[in-house]
Amino acid sequence: MAYLFTSESVSEGHPDKVSDQISDALLDHFLAFDPESKVACETLVTTGQVVLAGEVKSHTYLDVQNIARTVINNIGYTKGEYQFSGDSCGVISLIHEQSQDINQGVDRSTKEEQGAGDQGMMFGYATKETKNYMPLALDISHKILQVLADLRREGSQIPYLRPDAKAQVTIEYSDNNVPQRIDTIVVSTQHDDFDLDDIMLAKIKKDIISILIPKVISQFPEHVQQLFNDQIEYHINPTGKFVIGGPHGDTGLTGRKIIVDTYGGKGAHGGGAFSGKDPSKVDRSAAYAARHAAKNLVAAGVADEILVQVSYAIGVVEPTSIFVDTYGTSNLDLSDGKIAEKVAELFDMRPFAIEERLKLRNPIYLETAAYGHMGKEPRIINKVFESPYNGRIEKEVELFTWEKLDKVEEVKSVFSL
C-alpha cells in the first residue's frame, strides 16, 4: 500500500538557526587563529539579547560580540521593527575554559592516539533517491527555503519577506519505496506588517505558489519536476499573519534542529547536535564520517540505501562498534554484518584519522549551519577572518569534504563490484 513521508526544514532566520550560525562562526574564528582550539559553544537568542556560553581551550582571543553581531546582520536582522537587530541587540558572553577532566580524555602524546571527546553513537545515511544521495522530501524542503532567502535578498519580486521561515514537504511513495508525487507543501514565512489581512494573506499564497515554487522546480532534474502536480495541497502561512518572528517571536538555542541538519527523519540520529563543536567532538566529526562512508557505499553500488552507525567511549581511540543496515536493498551476497566489517577496514573511524581525512581542523563550519550539514556540494573557497587581537588572516578551505565521492573506486574494489 502506498504511504506518505514528510520532512521539514527551517530558514537561516529561524531563531534556532541564528543560534547555530553564531556558534559556528565563533568556532570558525577560533580554528582560523588557532587550529588546535577545543570549542563547545552554545548560543541563546531572544528579544534584543544574545547569550554565549560554553567551554573553550584556545591560544587565541576573540571579539565574540562583534562576531555575533556580524552573523545576525548577514542573516538579515537589520531593522528595529524586527525587535532583534545585530546593531542593537545585547551580547553577553559566559564562555569559560574547558574542563581538564574532559580534556585529559582527548589529548594524547601523539595525535593519532587522540581519544573520542565523548561517548555516544552517530549515524550516516545515504539513498539513491536524489543525485546528492539525500532523502527527497528534505532536499525539496531545503531548496524551498534557500530560494525563498534568495528572493528576500533580491527584494523586488516578493518585497515584504522577513528572515524567519519554515517549509515542510510530504511525498507519496509506492509499495517499493519509489516517490510517486508530492502530496502536500507547507510554507510559513515571516513578512512585513500590513493593514488588509485577507487581501495580503491571499497575495502571499499566490506569490509563493506562482513565483517561489516554479523557481524551486527548475532546480531539480526532470524526474523530480514530474512529482510536482496540480493536486498538491498547499498550506501557506496557515495560521494567518506572521509578522512577529525570529528571536523576538521565539527563543532560539544551538542544537535544536538536529533532524533538519541531517536526514529529515530518514535513517536514524544519535541525538548529538553539531554546531559550535570542534571536530574532537565525535557528535560532529563521526556523523560526518558516517555520512561519507554511507554516501560512497551507495554510489559504489553496495546498496540503494544505507545507514552506518559508529559508536565511541569517551577518551577511547577505537570506536566501540560499527553497524550497517542496507534496509534489504543490498546488491551483494553478503550480510549487513559482513558489510560492516569491510566498512571498518575501508574507513578509519579513529577521531584523529577522521579529522585528517576530512580536513576538519579548518574554519569550515559556518557554511554548514543552515539548510543542512549533508547533501551540499564540496567546494574550495577563500575565507577572511579579522580580529582586533590577532590581525587579519585569509585561508583557503575545502567545504563539505564528507560529501566527496573519493572512496568509490576503493569500495568497488573491496566489494568486487
Binding-site residue positions: 14, 16, 42, 55, 98, 164-166, 241-242, 250, 256-257, 273, 277, 281
- Rounded Cα distance between 156 and 159, Å, is 5
- Sheet of 38-46: strands edge to edge? 90-97, 49-57, 38-46, 252-253
- CA-based nearest residue to 254, from 240, 272, 239: 272
Annotated binding site for ATP: 14, 164-166, 241-242, 250, 256-257, 273, 277
Annotated binding site for L-methionine: 55, 98, 250, 281
Which three three-digit cell numbers place residue 277?
563543536
Q: How far out from the chain centre does Cα 196 lie?
A: 37
- Rounded Cα distance between 286 and 266, Å, is 18
- DSSP codes, 310-362: EEE-BT-SS-SEEEEE-TT-B-SSS-HHHHHHHHHHHS--SHHHHHHHHT-SS
Annotated binding site for Mg(2+): 16
- Rounded Cα distance between 138 and 141, Å, is 5
Q: Is 227 helix (H, G, I), strand (E, B) or coil?
A: coil
Type of residue found at 27: L
